[in-house]
Amino acid sequence: MGLQKTIRKVVRFKGIGLHTGKRVHLELRSAKANSGVRFIRTDIDEQNIIEAHVYNVTSTTRATSLGNGTTRVTTVEHLMSALYALGVDNVDCYISAEELPVLDGSSAIFAEEILKAGVKELNSPKRFIIVEKPVEIRDGDKLARISPAKEFTLHYTINFDHPAIGKQKFKFTKSTDFFEEISRSRTFGFLSDVERMQAMGLALGGSLENTVVLDGDSVMNPDGLRYEDEFVRHKVLDALGDFALCGHPLVGRVELHKAGHDLQTRLIRELLKRNNAYRVCSWDTSTEELDPELALDESALA
């Protein structure tokens, strides 16, 4: 647990992007300690590297997008969620188009293939962000809050005015089996939104193969749901993907109510902006060390 990790072997995926509908190849390769998760666009020659960090988030409309000023990658959250949950700190993600493959709309295939390839430890201590003071973002009745705690927990509640969803809550702790309980939950959307989203150039690759679609009162997918409360489980999945953009795993209690990519990434930015709200330390030695790179990131946020 005390050492950074990467993947043991190359892992490959191919498919279409949920929003662009474009075909894409994605190849994950092992990376050295302290390099983090990086996306490398293979269809672009210059300025094609984008670090998976919250300071590179360029959009949170329906998906989380990252950019470096000239180049972007989008819908990163399902892969980031699997990497975060499996404890993979460093990996280079070579991608042939701007949007990651949606696969089955969940993180299951990402997690399965990464586990098959195997995860290996690197000879460098893993660093964690320890939350020291509560930070909170409110937007109407939506809430995102993080507060000090001995370990990472995530409490999610949703309340949709739809008979197939309604109120749902889920508590993610270290004893939650990500693979069994979270990774298979799929992205979801309302049929009534589809036309509007497609007019915005979104959801062009969406289908019943990769999205749970709700009409007026029910789930349209012929096989129904994978979990009775699949909706809140997918919100947890997405949130883990956003919290992976902190740069290091978090130690703290996260509470999210009717949140989403926007509130989640705003919460992380706010936390990292406040020097006294967190500290970075390595777990195995419990030697506190301030990370000069993170200090630079803060000035980039200001």
Torsion of the alpha carbons at 65, 209, 244 and 47, rounded to the nearest 10: -40
- Of 48 and 60, which has the nearer Cβ to Zn ion? 60
Q: Which candidate, 240, 236, 184, places its Cα nearest to that of 212?
A: 184
* CA R_g for the chain: 18
Which helix (H) or strand (E) covers residue 292, if one does?
Answer: helix 292-301
Which helix (H) or strand (E) covers residue 235, if one does?
Answer: helix 230-243
Q: How many residues bind Zn ion (CB under 5 A)?
A: 2
Cβ–Cβ < 8 Å for 56, 64: no
Residue 134 CB, nearest approach to Zn ion (Å): 27
Residue 172 CB, nearest approach to Zn ion (Å): 15
Cβ–Cβ < 8 Å for 256, 144: yes
Interacting residues of 176 by C-beta distance below 8 A, sequence separation 6+: 182
- Of 135 and 236, which has the nearer Cβ to Zn ion? 236
Cβ–Cβ < 8 Å for 65, 72: yes
- Of 63 and 122, which has the nearer Cβ to Zn ion? 63
Question: Considering only residues 30, 74, 183, 187, which one is a binding residue for Zn ion as defined by CB under 5 A?
Answer: 187
Residue 77 CB, nearest approach to Zn ion (Å): 6
Asked if 90 touches Zn ion (CB under 5 A), the answer is: no
Q: Measure the CA–CA gap between 123 and 33, rounded to whole angstroms.
A: 8
**Stretch binding Zn ion (CB under 5 A), from 54-62, 85-93, 117-125, 184-192:** 184-192
- Of 230 and 238, which has the nearer Cβ to Zn ion? 238
Site string for Zn ion, 142-181 (x = CB under 5 A): ----------------------------------------
Q: Annotated catalytic sites, by residue?
A: 261
Q: Restricting to residues 49-88, name those near Zn ion by CB under 5 A.
A: none
Q: Restricting to residues 188-247, name those near Zn ion by CB under 5 A.
A: 238
Residue 222 CB, nearest approach to Zn ion (Å): 21
Q: Where does this chain bind Zn ion (CB under 5 A)?
A: 187, 238
